[in-house]
Structure 1
């Protein structure tokens, strides 16, 4: 049995979103390498300060992540994406300007990464919420695979290039390149014709708190969504404990050049790319839920090799372990995002994505701070070991959930009408049917 409308590439707007996303991810990944290296090598940042810098880069999801979902549901999708990328371009450009004027400081880097994170909140939530509108739900597996592959490819190119640019051209010039990439992305996004309309008309809007609570109930009221979110949050927590300490470990303790750190992170991007490439085939063969559980069992323990990193052969061993662990991440990104989108009706997409991103990226912020604290008090390698153990066991919530037997993509049913009371319309409630097959032509049907 074949899929109807199998390719999202038929959509002009999806091609626009993909091209703009390529530039946006490139800018983000260059900054991911260049900003902490600038802090460590030029401004003398120690493990605690490096951890704080990494934590602030994702703290925005804890600060505004939940209301951002309700705001995204109220705003036209394209405007959100364009404004977010334009803001990130300005913020990145401020770093080389301050450097050339001789006034760059750690507090400015803290402010830039925090505000950049706020813009990223809106971009990430907005892009994931717009995707079903741009390609249709029947194309989501292929579209998400393409976008995760893009993210991985940008990780390879951006982090590898970021390390080399820092090594040969200095960090400020690398960050300026990231600002140009963001600006180009914002320009490209203006060409999207179809955009996700506001989910709720202004006259029908309720209090922001009530809309946020509805998104929280949707995520935490589902055993499948709870397991997906908890597993991803644990993976992010462990990964960020490792990533926050790698600049210190590579440059100070091992004496390796910036290019080596960029190459190590690029290996992780290659792993995500491989995982995204095989995710759909694994889902067809094993089932959408079982593929995530089994891939965690197969690949996640390899991350323990990262804690053995050293110069010489052990650098290659650690790099191979990181690559294998990121294969699992690539598989989980494609199938996990697709499952979340299928389990969520259109009016709740922004709030669902914001709730999940709040928890997932909040885990990154906590992981950065925790990595910096453990690195400062117990040693950098201890922090890396702790992160690796957390990451290796992150798939266990999936193993203990109904997802371990889930084969088909679930179908979202129509809203459940609630009785009005006291002159106010009750908030709509939704349910999904995990065991039900999608309609013919779904990307989740077995061939």
Structure 2
């Protein structure tokens, strides 16, 4: 169940995903004539592409430039994901009291500087693993701030009667970036070299900074008279609401199962392609890029299938197909003329059904969340869904070192199937064509 993160070919689930599932017409023209909304959408899209590209670029720098093994790649990915576990709940409470535009531009600026410094150090031959770990943690921490802030910003920026369509557009681009970003990162590394790819990623954050800082509408935010204990009470309210709602509780648990196993799978996957299948950098980029067209198809399907077959049925079947296809990867062997088309097909299917899950699950989350709770619910599901990712990355590196890449990849890919199983056994599977 993709989302709250990144997919082997890219990623995905529950912290959010797009609501294109209101299965309605495209975003009304009146919304696109709103200059501030356009600036937010452009900036958020550029930021998400940069964020999810960096999830592949930084590990590939370690593999291709520093010759890091499975254990070190696992540690690097875990360090980059640790801020989700450490900061999500606090950031969700804090952002409600800050101007989201300020949070977003500072997060973009910080990530652009961090990746730019990494690129420069890589070109000069002075980038080592400790510095790369610092960059990964910095980018991960600032991404938590940005991701929570843009969701709160949308509610403050867009009028209520246009909020559903605005959310569909914003979350649609985020979900697509989750799928396309890792593929783009792999392609950039193969075509431009790892340090130049990092510099390109920094430019993406710089573009987001320039777009979002042009937002002119002032936000109304609560007075900052609340004391620290109130922050913890607000966190508790978000946790209690998610735990108390059967659909949201299942979304969080299924997302956690997926993201844990996916993080472990991704660690081995980035090593499996060049070292076990002996694919060149260009071939790796080509196979990862196949998730992009799949994501586009998934977005189109998400606008039609839930209203025809029911949201629950679509969620369970799409998650089972998207996660299950990854079991084919460890079975691949032989010359590249066979493995490359097979990987392209696998990644295309994965991208299609991952995007379908992302879009549908966000529609469910938005439908059952009351006004005033969206920021905390999104942060809570991100925390629950993505919080175990660092442990998954560490496990993936450990298993790859102990069992070998092929066996560890089979085991971790099989673990991803726990996500659709949890959804199938929950009330989420019984959601019909109309959401509550």
Provide the TM-score with structure 2 as the length reference. Answer: 0.85
Shift of 1:336: 1.3
Q: For residues 154 and 112 of structure 1, what CA distance do their matches in structure 2 show?
A: 21
Q: Does 1:251 align with 2:305?
A: no
Q: Does 1:176 align with 2:203?
A: no
Residue in structure 1 matching 2:211, options 188, 191, 208: 188
Q: Does 1:334 align with 2:356?
A: no
Q: For residues 376 and 354 of structure 1, what CA distance do their matches in structure 2 show?
A: 34
CA RMSD of aligned residues (A): 2.6
Q: What's 1:365 paired with?
A: 390
Q: What's 2:115 paired with?
A: 92
Q: For residues 159 and 316 of structure 2, what CA distance do their matches in structure 1 show?
A: 27
Shift of 1:87: 0.9
Moved more, 183-192 or 343-352: 343-352
Q: What's 2:337 paired with?
A: 312
Q: For residues 243 and 267 of structure 1, what CA distance do their matches in structure 2 show?
A: 16
Q: 1:114 to 1:375 in 2, by over 3 A?
A: same
Residue in structure 2 matching 1:46, options 47, 69, 78: 69
Q: What's 2:225 paired with?
A: 203
Cα deviation per residue 1:87-146 (whole Å; 9 max; x = unaligned)?
Answer: 100110111222344421101101110111000001111122333444456656654553
Q: Does 1:392 align with 2:392?
A: no
SS at match of 1:207: helix
- Structure 1 residue ranges without an equivalent (≥5): 411-433, 435-447
Query: Which structure: larger Rg?
Result: 1
Q: 1:132 to 1:295 in 2, by over 3 A?
A: farther
Q: For residues 235 and 178 of structure 1, what CA distance do their matches in structure 2 show?
A: 26
Q: For residues 288 and 157 of structure 1, what CA distance do their matches in structure 2 show?
A: 24
Q: For residues 184 and 432 of structure 2, what CA distance do their matches in structure 1 show?
A: 40
Q: For residues 76 and 389 of structure 1, what CA distance do their matches in structure 2 show?
A: 43
Q: 1:393 to 1:327 in 2, by over 3 A?
A: farther
- Structure 2 residue ranges without an equivalent (≥5): 1-22
Give the paired residue count.
409
Q: Does 1:23 align with 2:36?
A: no
Q: For residues 381 and 196 of structure 1, what CA distance do their matches in structure 2 show?
A: 52
SS at match of 1:347: coil
Moved more, 136-145 or 383-392: 136-145
Structure 1 outlier segments of 4+, above 6 Å = 2-5
Q: For residues 159 and 26 of structure 2, what CA distance do their matches in structure 1 show?
A: 9
Shift of 1:3: 6.8
Provide the TM-score with structure 1 as the length reference. Answer: 0.83
Q: For residues 33 and 297 of structure 1, what CA distance do their matches in structure 2 show?
A: 24
Moved more, 207-216 or 157-166: 157-166
Q: What's 1:416 paired with?
A: none
